[in-house]
Structure 1
Amino acid sequence: MISSYVENFRLGEALQLFDEMPVRDAVMWNLMIKGCVSCGNLDTGLRLFDEMPEKNVVSWTTVIDALLKSGKFEQAKGLFWKMPERDIAAWNAVIHGCFRNGKVEEAIRLFEVMHDKNVISWTTMISGLDQHGRSYEALSVFGRMVGSGLKPTSSTFSCAITACANECNLCLGSQVHSHVLKLGYVFDPYVTSSLITFYANCKQMQECLKAFDEKLHPNVVVWTSLLTGYGNNGKHEDALRVFVEMNRLGIVPNQSSFTSALNSSSEMEIVDWGKSIHGAATKVGLGKDHFVGNSLVVLYTKCGNINDGILAFKEITNQNIVSWNSIIVGCAQHGCGEWSLVFFSQMAKAGVDPDEITFTGLLNSCSHSGMFRKGRHFFECLSRYAAIEVKLEHYACMVDILCRSGKLNEAEELVKKMPMEPNLTIWLALLSGCRAQMNVEIAERAAKKILAIDPYHSAAYVLLSNIYASAGRWTDVERIRRDMKKMGTLKQLGRSWV
């Protein structure tokens, strides 16, 4: 009865029934503690744990796992070391919790001092290391596991193949694939999905198709991996064909399927395809999902349908930072700077903190809409956000703003004082700004910097030649043409019949 109440989230009735019980054994105490934490009432679960007369390893593990899921790492670790005896499940729970809370080194330390490791222990380490960007170490752990004679499960193989995909290690991944075939895990949809992603990351699409077999895997995860793999390799028509085929076979797309299909439509700038996918997502209840919605905003704004992009943004149920950035950047691309600022104001009211992409969008909005003072204000605001790193993109936007407002000298000074080495984009922004202001001196210095980085950069030659031509310096124009011919970058200049 208590179990039934808990499953239906009727915790109050479960607790009342538990309190009325004359005799309560360890199983009943554990059931009630687990019920409390499952219903989100950790405090009551901890109180019952403290009151429990005879705790067993299940009691301890349940509470420790609940604390780790709640982010209370130190408290969980303290209880773990207080356990009278620790079984493998307790060790595995704490190691998993370490990764969940970003304590990677602590997880490694616990794993190394753990005496009896089972396949779950090894798989947890492989997965945890890979998810924290340490795929090479994850593969090393997988090697140790295989060397110890322990047989990997389908989950282990899936994690190891994912690590190979992240490392783009074709050689090792192919070896793991051979083991998968030998042990018969090729029919597991998650192993196959990982293999498809692995080969796609390694640009081996033919191998993807070999791993994929629609007759063996009528599974949305496998189909979505192939769809995404094609998209990530720039084969967007093939990606959309996969999406059509999976729908024809009655395989209902999931969140990732719709997102990948919309991204391919966006890359090809086919808005009609996007609208069709939008309709299909709405039919299965994913039209307002934030992942799908974010892709819709990008699609519509990229295809020039700014109003549809705004409508898609407003439909998103839980707008996250990506949602706000997508609409701010989309408005900036269409020269709707005032709209970008309005959305930024709404974003602040919603309590969503901006990031680097937000400010790139805002600076671009101000630059393209002629709001130079506001652009300077946003650039100065960047330094106030400790969590935001000022990047080259922000400097490039600010250089563009200063050039468009006629402050070429200030733009050049900003470039000189940058805390990082200016790249081609920065110098090109400065060189482009020189043309409108007819400033040959700064143009020459900017072009020199560009050609020092890339001697074959034809755009720099063309821009400098045009600036010389506008200034009537035809001798320098001819010199630039000779230099371009010598470097093999000569571009056929246009002619006018006027």
Structure 2
Amino acid sequence: MNYTKSITPHKLLLFQHLKHQRIDEARDVFNKLPFPDIALCTQMVMGYAQNDRLGDALKLFYEMPTKDVVSWNSIMKGCLDCGDLSMAKKLFDEMPEKNVVSWTTIMNGFLQFGRVENAECLFRQMSVRDIAAWNAMIHGYCSNGRVEDALNLFEKMPRRNVISWTSIIGGLDQNGKSSEALFLFQKMVHAVYVGNSLVVMYTKCGYVYDGITAFKRIDEKNIVSWNSSIVGCAQHGLGMWALTLFNQMLRERVDPDEVTFIGLLSACSHSFMLQKGRCFFQYMSQVKSIEMTIEHYACMLDVLGRCGELEEAEQLVENMPMKANVMVWLVLLSACRKHSKIDVAERAAEQIFELEPECSAAYVLLSNLYASAGRWSDVSRIRKKMKHNRVVKQPGSSWLTLKGQRHQFLSGDRSHPLNQEIYQKLDWLGGKLKELGYVPDQQFSLHDVEVEQKEEMLSYHSERLAIGFGLISTVEGSTITVMKNLRVCGDCHTAIKLMANIVGREIIVRDYSRFHHFRSGICSCGDYW
């Protein structure tokens, strides 16, 4: 049931106060609501409990005229979070209706505080156990040193997921049973469901070759296995690998679905395979079991746009059986940015502004296109329009995760604790780049400023700062993986290729659409992205 279908200003204010832990202000607003429903009452109760005001939470809970199972579960969890197990158990016993979440919540609470016997008793009493309950009990056994009980329960599980495997493997390792943990890990890799998850995890984290290895180890491959691998190869620019996997898939008599062709078209887009992209798109239109969606048209549009076939791309948009949305027009506009087609870009931008007047990406792409052409008056006009419409540009940011901590950078950022060392490393790299003949490409500094300022702006783009941090914070020779929320600019792309060669490392950069593997002075994208 959608309790927030009619959001009033008072309700919005209540949610804002609760979000920012202004609990007394939230209660003042709550008191002004004439007829708060169950959902709003439950939100207020949870707000009290999450701010260690259990007494107020319980008082309001018992004052509620009607309660559902969600409200009972919420107050019970609030008691567990505050460490009041006896009250949590009292509430559990009073509940007029219990669901599997109720049982799992109280059981987790007992396990969290080392009351394994109480949790065991509840687990046995459960008439219906979902996979979360099994996982909670296994994790609880391991956390309290009862590894054999955890193993016995794991073997009895009717169904397992990634959490099941990681809980038992981690528990074995933490309790000094590393060899048993390794054995189970090897067994896990061969399970279909877990193997698929590993493929996705590896490829999303930049380790595409490990993802392919995990795929090969899956004993019984299904459509999800094949799609995960094909899409992974596409994201990393391994177009021919994606096509090879597709051919193997057909030989294994696995029928492709809609996701398969999104992966294949993406592979063609990122690997400059125009004709193959056209063939796949034509093949899809002839297979009745495949439903062509707007995502497929957007992918084909990307293939055409990246290859410079902008007239054909415009015709495709005009002949689509469904109305083009913002995503489709943005793909076309992005292609115009790459190929400097201002007239097509202006037409695409006009369509976007009609559909979504506050689309910041369209303003930025059009402004960048004007800037790269030196049309600074048009840049100024677009920026004034953005300001007038209160459109805020999404800032470019890059980040690197080290020892579980995320280190994020903006262009020209000097807020990091290792700021001085990072800039020293980048300045050293800048000297080495000049020795190799590198000259900053000023068309990617999209500001009407002096040459020296443009070069400095380019030198400290967010991805370079993240790489600089990675170089001073990781083991010599190890791979550096950087994530970026926007497209890597052409100048940074050129510089990072040389940087990877200078430091003798592989540098992986994932921008908003694909992975770039820089090593030995070249990039896996073949300078085509």
User: TM-score under structure 1 normalisation?
Assistant: 0.51
Partner of residue 379 from structure 1, selected from 277, 281, 285:
281
Partner of residue 162 from structure 2, selected from 259, 264, 279:
259
Partner of residue 174 from structure 1, selected from 63, 70, 73:
70
Q: Deviations along 1:316-374, whole A, 9 cap, x unmatched?
A: 11100000001111111111010000110000000000001100000000110111110
Match status 1:333 vs 2:291: no
Q: Deviations along 1:408-455, whole A, 9 cap, x unmatched?
A: 111111112111222222111000000122111111111122222222
CA contact (8 A) 2:142 2:150 kept: no
How far the C-alpha of 1:194 sits from its partner, in A, is 7.5
User: How far apart, in 2, do the equivalents of 1:210 and 1:412 lie?
Assistant: 59
CA contact (8 A) 2:352 2:362 kept: yes
Partner of residue 413 from structure 1, selected from 315, 319, 343:
315
Residues 475 and 308 (structure 1 numbering): CA distance in 2 closer, same or farther, change over 3 Å?
A: same
User: How far apart, in 2, do the equivalents of 1:353 and 1:300 lie?
Assistant: 25
Match status 1:478 vs 2:380: yes
Residues 363 and 401 (structure 1 numbering): CA distance in 2 closer, same or farther, change over 3 Å?
A: same
Q: Residue 409 of structure 1 aligns to which amino acid in structure 2?
A: E
Q: Does 304-313 or 363-372 show the bigger shift? A: 304-313
Aligned to 2:86: none
Residues 472 and 172 (structure 1 numbering): CA distance in 2 closer, same or farther, change over 3 Å?
A: same
CA contact (8 A) 1:438 1:467 kept: yes
Kindly indicate which of the two structures has a greater share of residues assigned to helix. Answer: 1
User: How far apart, in 1, do the equivalents of 2:376 and 2:344 lie?
Assistant: 18
How far the C-alpha of 1:287 sits from its partner, in A, is 2.7
Match status 1:311 vs 2:213: yes
Q: Deviations along 1:28-87, whole A, 9 cap, x unmatched?
A: xxxxxxxxxxxxxxxxxxxxxxxxxxxxxxxxxxxxxxxxxxxxxxxxxxxxxxxxxxxx
Q: Deviations along 1:84-116, whole A, 9 cap, x unmatched?
A: xxxxxxxxxxxxxxxxxxxxxxxxxxxxxxxxx
Residues 409 and 226 (structure 1 numbering): CA distance in 2 closer, same or farther, change over 3 Å?
A: farther
DSSP 3-state at the match of 1:251: helix
1:224-373 to 2 correspondences below 5 Å:
224-225=131-132, 245=143, 251-252=150-151, 253=154, 258-260=161-163, 282-283=184-185, 285-373=187-275
Residues 241 and 217 (structure 1 numbering): CA distance in 2 closer, same or farther, change over 3 Å?
A: closer
How far the C-alpha of 1:285 sits from its partner, in A, is 3.6
Residues 299 and 484 (structure 1 numbering): CA distance in 2 closer, same or farther, change over 3 Å?
A: same
Q: Residue 462 of structure 1 aligns to which amino acid in structure 2?
A: V
How far the C-alpha of 1:259 sits from its partner, in A, is 2.0
User: How far apart, in 1, do the equivalents of 2:134 and 2:222 lie?
Assistant: 25
How far the C-alpha of 1:384 sits from its partner, in A, is 2.1
CA contact (8 A) 2:165 2:188 kept: no
Aligned to 1:496: 454
User: How far apart, in 2, do the equivalents of 1:400 and 1:340 lie?
Assistant: 17
Q: Residue 455 of structure 2 aligns to which amino acid in structure 1?
A: W
User: How far apart, in 1, do the equivalents of 2:356 and 2:364 lie?
Assistant: 14
Match status 1:428 vs 2:330: yes
Q: Does 470-479 or 246-255 show the bigger shift? A: 246-255
DSSP 3-state at the match of 2:237: coil
User: How far apart, in 2, do the equivalents of 1:244 and 1:412 lie?
Assistant: 59
How far the C-alpha of 1:184 sits from its partner, in A, is 8.6
Aligned to 1:465: 367
How far the C-alpha of 1:489 sits from its partner, in A, is 2.4
Aligned to 1:115: none
Residues 422 and 244 (structure 1 numbering): CA distance in 2 closer, same or farther, change over 3 Å?
A: farther
User: How far apart, in 2, do the equivalents of 1:311 and 1:391 lie?
Assistant: 31
Kindly indicate which of the two structures has a greater share of residues assigned to strand. Answer: 2
Partner of residue 192 from structure 1, selected from 100, 111, 114:
100
DSSP 3-state at the match of 2:455: coil
How far the C-alpha of 1:474 sits from its partner, in A, is 2.0
Q: Residue 434 of structure 1 aligns to which amino acid in structure 2?
A: C
Q: Residue 100 of structure 2 aligns to which amino acid in structure 1?
A: T
How far the C-alpha of 1:290 sits from its partner, in A, is 0.5
User: How far apart, in 1, do the equivalents of 2:387 and 2:134 lie?
Assistant: 45
Q: Deviations along 1:204-225, whole A, 9 cap, x unmatched?
A: xxxx578754344445996952
Aligned to 1:393: 295
Residues 461 and 346 (structure 1 numbering): CA distance in 2 closer, same or farther, change over 3 Å?
A: same
Aligned to 1:117: none
CA contact (8 A) 1:243 1:257 kept: no
Q: Residue 192 of structure 1 aligns to which amino acid in structure 2?
A: V
How far the C-alpha of 1:488 sits from its partner, in A, is 2.1
How far the C-alpha of 1:280 sits from its partner, in A, is 5.6
CA contact (8 A) 1:223 1:246 kept: no
Query: Whose RCO is larger (CA < 8 A, sep 6+)?
Result: 2
User: How far apart, in 2, do the equivalents of 1:247 and 1:306 lie?
Assistant: 36
How far the C-alpha of 1:173 sits from its partner, in A, is 4.2
Q: Residue 285 of structure 2 aligns to which amino acid in structure 1?
A: S
Q: Does 411-420 or 363-372 show the bigger shift? A: 411-420
Residues 465 and 211 (structure 1 numbering): CA distance in 2 closer, same or farther, change over 3 Å?
A: same
User: How far apart, in 1, do the equivalents of 2:293 and 2:95 lie?
Assistant: 48
CA contact (8 A) 1:337 1:365 kept: yes
Residues 405 and 497 (structure 1 numbering): CA distance in 2 closer, same or farther, change over 3 Å?
A: closer
Residues 475 and 481 (structure 1 numbering): CA distance in 2 closer, same or farther, change over 3 Å?
A: same
Gaps of 5+ in 2: 1-65, 77-90, 168-177, 396-445, 448-452, 457-529
Residues 447 and 171 (structure 1 numbering): CA distance in 2 closer, same or farther, change over 3 Å?
A: farther
User: TM-score under structure 2 normalisation?
Assistant: 0.48
User: How far apart, in 2, do the equivalents of 1:241 and 1:443 lie?
Assistant: 55
User: How far apart, in 1, do the equivalents of 2:237 and 2:366 lie?
Assistant: 27
User: How far apart, in 1, do the equivalents of 2:164 and 2:388 lie?
Assistant: 46
Residues 364 and 454 (structure 1 numbering): CA distance in 2 closer, same or farther, change over 3 Å?
A: same
Q: Residue 235 of structure 2 aligns to which amino acid in structure 1?
A: Q
CA contact (8 A) 2:190 2:219 kept: yes
Root mean square deviation, CA, Å: 4.0
- Structure of greater Rg: 1
